[in-house]
Amino acid sequence: MSYVDEKLESFHNLCRQKGLKITPQRTEIYKALLESKEHPSAEMVFEKIRHLLPNISFDTVNRTLNTLNDMGAAFIVEGSGDVRRFDANLENHQHFKCINCKKIFDFSHKTFDNIAVPENLLGNFKVLRAVVYIEGLCKSCQEIII
């Protein structure tokens, strides 16, 4: 079974477990997100799958992406301002975001996986996600802007 098929199967299991129905839309949206490396926005996912499901509405895409985020099958990429971007890759990895072209680049730096959350926080807060996130200019934007 391929990687995507495996992921799809556990996604379907997660749906069942949460009492959510497995619809072609949900499946395609999840698959599109899984296969994309660009951390797409709702709009980008919509464009990606409208040829597969010609009748799908943008709202369904948007709503479903929120559902994926709520159920934990994907998450909204951290960032400052701008449109929501989604990521179905739950493996430990970090993001570099170009503040000019808004492209998001994955990178993986062991030290940033499971960074130690300070003790005094743990007492008062329930930590759900500790994220290291880097912002700057990507190669091509550095050249353009100077």
Residues found near its own copies in the complex (CB under 8 A):
75-81, 84, 96, 98-99, 105, 107, 109, 111-112, 115-118, 120-121, 124-139, 142
> With binding defined as CB under 7 A, does residue 21 bind DNA?
yes
Q: Which of residues 25-44 bind DNA (CB under 7 A)?
A: 25-26, 41-43
> 53 vs 141, which CB is nearer to DNA?
53
What is the separation of C-alpha 117 from the centre of its chain, rounded to a whole number of angstroms?
Answer: 23
Choose the contact partner of 100 out of DNA, its own copies, none; CB within 5 to 8 A by kind: none
